[in-house]
Amino acid sequence: MCLSIPSQVIQIDDANIATVDTMGVQRQVSLDLMPEAVDIGDYVLIHVGFAMNKIDQEDALESLKLYREMVDLMDAEDLKVSQGNS
């Protein structure tokens, strides 16, 4: 199973390469496999370096909220374990 975190397009260059922000991490992905036009500000789902689908902003923000909650819970659990409070 593959989970894709919504990534927001922040720049598109002339070679059809987008710079995206994924939860604060920026990277470049190809837009060559996108079936529809992509604009700055859009959210996309990525697989192995290619943007594959657009996701609407409301769904993207809800997914990002859930991912942040999971990360926070894992961080809290790691802290408990490192303090010997498992």
Q: What is each CA distance from 80 to 15, 77, 86, in whole angstroms?
A: 47, 5, 6
- Is residue 69 scored above 80 in pLDDT? yes
Residue 56 three-state SS: coil
- For 1-20, what is each residue's pLDDT tens digit? 567 889 999 999 999 999 99
Q: What is each CA distance from 26 to 7, 8, 29, 82, in whole angstroms?
A: 9, 9, 10, 30
pTM of the prediction? 0.81
